[in-house]
Every structure is written in structure tokens, then in C-alpha cells.
Amino acid sequence: MSVGELYGPLLTALGGRDERIVVVDAGLGSSMQTGQFRAAYPQRYVNLGIAEANAVGFASGLARRGLRPFVHSFSNFLARRAHDQIAISVVVAGLPVTLVAGSCGVFDGRNGPSHFAGDDLAAICAMPGMTVFEPADAVDLETTLERARASAGPNYLRLRRHGMPQTIGDSLQAREAVRVIHINSAPPIVTVVAIGAILDEVVTACRILLDEGIVPELVHVLRAKPLDEATILASARRTGRIVAIENHVAHGGCAAGIAALVAREGLRFAALTLPDDILPAGDARWLLARCGLDATSIAVRLSSLLSSWSH
């Protein structure tokens, strides 16, 4: 199911429950799938055109008047073009503005380097008081929208562009910030942390490892900031080895935060992330494979890591 097929109805339903919600678009209404909200609540929809900084500043004014603005643009445009406005107009004031950042990482690979944001979290997570979500399925998405609506401060919602499962793992109506996804009852030998929307690839990779007799404990991070340290550390202490996998460069993302977290524990750690490189335009699946982040590549890399750690 495409993200658009999920997001539009969920956003519209949220708007029906809370009249304070105003959707602000930065010239990407069709790409960000806000048309259903616009049709249902035209008086609470504003398209300011390709002017991300203006959209964020406008949203900060709405928030000061007691409204709950949801600003929509691609992740690279929000993190880069509107960085100063996010910092000064939203973060410094601690306003409840939700930044809905589409097409993160390789999931907008077809549009090439100008649209490819594999470094947005480095800019956003560094901002004090910013809460960062990256959903992997429809249940995650509904959970994050509701939590952003109810939040007293700023939120960054990082979305993939194409394809999102209805549910991965349990189908509970609300998700924790970090959860363990049970894929096998045998004692695990490594903690595998899937960050955000890469989860579906990591689940498949873990099943490949199980076929090889390698039992991982799979942990999914829905809220990258603030990070639920307890759940991750509890799993890592059980296995003694931890690998974080993320659709982001190694610097400044959630994997980097996990590295800092486990360093003081003396645990073996590795991160599988996007390369420190300018990637070419290409289909998301092709780019995942090129970066070693498709399910088969992840399984091979994990197996190799575990082998090297055992010597």
C-alpha cells in the first residue's frame, strides 16, 4: 500500500477530531497527498508554494494563535532550506508545529541528489526539544500523527515516499517509541535495531538469518528522538552485540545516537547506514541494493559481522 493511500485518510480523520489542525503545504500538495484534507476542510488548508522557509514561519504564527499546523514538504527542503526558520521560529519558542518530511533517504532516489536527503536527521536531531518520528507501517503512522497532534512542542515526522505495509509485527492500536518484534523464541545472539522505515527490509533479513541458524532479536525504533534507551540497552545486554540499521548517513542520525549509548556498556557495535557519498538518481530498490541496505545485503553483512566478532 502506498504511503499516500494511507496518509491522506489518516490526516483527514485527525483533522475531523481536532479543529485546531491546519495543513500548510509548500507547493507539494499532490506529492504529499494532502488533497483529501483540502477537500474536507478547505478553510484549514493553505498552499504557500515552493517557499519552505515562509511555510515554517507562517506555521509558527498559527501555533502562537493556538492552532496545530502540520507543514508538508520533502525532508531535504525542510532540513536544508528552512533550517533557520525551524530553529528560530519554532524550536526556540517551543511551538507545537509538526513538520511532515516526505521522501526521506533512498525513497526519493529517482529525483536524484537535489532531492535526496540522507542527512536530514543530522540537522533536525541536533535541535533541542525536537521530537523525531519515523514510522514503518500504517499503525506507526497513525500513532505518530496522534502523538504529534497532542504534543506541546515541535515534531519532525520522517516519511518514505513509496510503499508502506499495513502492519509489521503486532497490530496493536498504538505503538511504543521502541519495541521488540518477536520473530523467534530461541535465545538471540545479536540485537538488530531497525530505525524507522527500513524495518520491512530488516525483518526479511532477520528471517534469512534464521534460515542460517542465526537468531537475532529485532528492535524497531519509531521515535528517534528522544530515544528510548532502556529497551535498546536491555536487549543489547542480553545478546552482548548490537547492529543498528538506518536509511541515513552514519553521522548525526539515530544510529550515531545508539553508538554513543552503547559505547559506555562495552558492547560490540556496528552500524549499517547510507554511504558518505553523493548517490546517483535511481529506483529506491536499486539504491537500497547499491548501499547494502536491501534485505539480502543486510543478511550477508550481518552474517559476516557476526563471523568476524566470533574470532
pLDDT tens, per residue, the chain with 311 residues: 556 578 999 999 999 999 999 999 999 888 889 999 999 999 999 999 999 999 999 999 999 999 999 999 999 999 999 999 999 999 999 999 999 999 898 887 788 888 888 999 999 999 999 999 999 999 999 999 999 999 999 999 999 876 789 999 887 778 999 999 988 889 999 999 999 999 999 999 999 999 999 999 999 999 999 999 999 999 999 999 999 999 999 999 999 999 999 998 889 999 999 999 999 999 989 999 999 999 999 999 999 999 999 86
The pTM of the full predicted model, rounded to 2 decimals, is 0.96
CATH number of 178-309: 3.40.50.920
Can you name the CATH fold of 3-158? Rossmann fold (3.40.50)
Furthest CA-CA distance within the chain: 64
Sequence letter at residue 69? P
Please report the beta strands in the chain, taking only residues with DSSP state E, as ranges in sequence order. 21-25, 45-47, 68-74, 98-102, 131-133, 155-158, 178-181, 190-195, 216-221, 223-225, 241-249, 268-274
| DSSP character at residue 226 | S
Per-domain residue ranges for the chain? 3-158, 178-309
Q: What is the pLDDT of residue 240?
A: 95
Same fold, 3-158 and 178-309: yes
